Amino acid sequence: MNDTDAVNAGQSARSLENGGTGQGSYSCQEANVEQIELEYKIPVPNLFSRPPIGIVSVPDGQIRVEGSQTQDVDLVESGHGNGRLCSIAPSCQQRPMSQWSKTRICLVCVLTVAIGALLLFVSLFPASFVYVDYYEYALHRNSFTGKVDYSQLYGPSCNLMAPWDEMIKFKASAHHVEMTLKIMNKDFLGITLHLYLQYFLKPTEIVVLYKRYNLQYPEVMKQLIQSTVKNTAVNFSLDKYRLRRHHVEAELESRVRYVLSGDCCPSRCPNNHTSAQNTSCGPPDCLPVGQCYVGRHVELRYFQMGRVSIPDEVMDLYLRSVVLQIQVERELYLQETAVEEKKTEALVKNLLNQAREVTEAAEAKSRVILAKANADAELTVQVAYQSALVELFDRLNITAEENKLSFIYTKTLWGKRDMLFAFDYDVNRVYTP
């Protein structure tokens, strides 16, 4: 194989490198050449280039191309026959390297961009529809900048948004709170309360709620409920928890409602009138906006106090304290009874003394009255007797004093006849039994 044939073979190989179809024909002047191998190496571009040509074989008049991975072109010849090598006459069509690369690169880029845009559209367009369910409220936020649009609160709806936007969702249904609290009551005894609450967000105050607490408001509400219940529960004794549950539950609910919901009249009240003017607006003690406590921007609707758990140790201490208290009260009652008995005895004696004084005074007065009456009677009798004697003496014509005295004396003895035994007129004596 001379230099001219080698150059022609190299040009044929390079024609394959520069854009040929990869096949060609050859012609031999003499001898059969079973195989010619052209081995050369070319640089490998990026993924837009075809695989490099490595080995060119000439079996049965056809050229076959196989790949290689090195940089430099190197021609190696081998053959079998009578010692003469045919010259390779390439028949493949040749194109300039620059023209073929630019065209193919443009086509590939356009197709790639189109396919990528289509895939991006197919993947992002459905995700641009954001649904807000009937049990939700939502605010719009840009996920790149983190800016929240507070101008609109979204209710149940389907919204078309940019891929970089998102919804901050809030529950429009009830927020259920269930907690078990260990508290200290008025008697300094530890008990356990089981509480169940349901509160709702106020739609007109969701923006303020989010600005103050972000999405951590459920935990904030839970902590507020716990602190409020613990601060209020210490005002009740164990007897009230056992015997007056409804009173304790009403007080706890009233305090928790004030802390969470405030005492403002709802926005549905016309002209911010109090509910005393319109009973459908809210509780009767609510106040107009601007004169009230707004609370924590939620509405407490339901409050239930469940089981009150009293440990056995606490119950034993409570029973001991109750027994001691009863004993103390018994002793107090006994002392009060003794004091009252002494007071009663003193009062009785005082009353008896007063009664005795009144009785003696009455008896003395009665004796005086009786004596006076007797004296008056005696006086009346004597006056009447004298008048009768005078009249008698006048009628009998007794004028001598001796006769008058004798008559009076005889009349007197006759009046005492039951006491006399005999008369002795001679000596003027009277004998008595």
- Sequence spans of domains, the chain: 3-93, 127-171, 176-310, 316-376, 398-431
Query: What would the two tokens of residue 10 be?
Result: 């190299």
Write down the mean pLDDT value for the chain: 74
pLDDT surpasses 90 at 78: no
Question: Average pLDDT of 189-203?
Answer: 92
Res 396: pLDDT: 83
279 vs 217: CA distance, rounded Å: 31
> In CATH terms, is domain 176-310 a member of 3.30.479.30?
yes
Res 423: pLDDT: 52
Digit-coded pLDDT (tens) for 222-260: 999 999 999 999 999 888 988 899 999 999 999 999 999
Indicate the pLDDT class of residue 127, thresholds 50, 70 and 90. Answer: low
pLDDT surpasses 80 at 54: no
pLDDT surpasses 50 at 7: no
What's the predicted TM-score (pTM) here? 0.51
Nearest residue to 263 via CA among 284, 309, 294: 294
DSSP track, 26-45: EE-SSS------EE------
Do 191 and 309 contact (CB within 8 A), yes or no? yes
Res 302: pLDDT: 94
Digit-coded pLDDT (tens) for 378-402: 888 888 888 888 888 888 888 888 8
Indicate the pLDDT class of residue 66, thresholds 50, 70 and 90. Answer: very low
Helices (H), 234-311: 238-243, 245-261
Strand partners of residue 422 = 431
Res 189: pLDDT: 82
Element (H, E) at 168: strand 165-171
Indicate the pLDDT class of residue 16, thresholds 50, 70 and 90. Answer: very low
Do 221 and 296 contact (CB within 8 A), yes or no? yes
Helix, strand or coil for residue 130? Answer: strand
Indicate the pLDDT class of residue 271, thresholds 50, 70 and 90. Answer: low
416 vs 432: CA distance, rounded Å: 10
CA 154 from centroid of its chain's CA atoms: 25
Res 146: pLDDT: 86
Digit-coded pLDDT (tens) for 404-420: 888 887 777 777 666 65
What is each CA distance from 182 to 79, 185, 189, 193, in whole angstroms? 101, 10, 10, 6
Digit-coded pLDDT (tens) for 287-339: 887 788 888 999 999 999 999 988 888 888 888 888 998 999 999 999 999 99
218 vs 296: CA distance, rounded Å: 11
Give the sign of the dihedral formed by CA 401, CA 406, CA 409, CA 415: negative
Strands 25-27 and 87-89 turn out to be antiparallel
Burial class (CB in 10 A: 0-12, 13-18, 19+), 169: middle
Res 71: pLDDT: 37
Do 38 and 6 contact (CB within 8 A), yes or no? no
179 vs 222: CA distance, rounded Å: 9
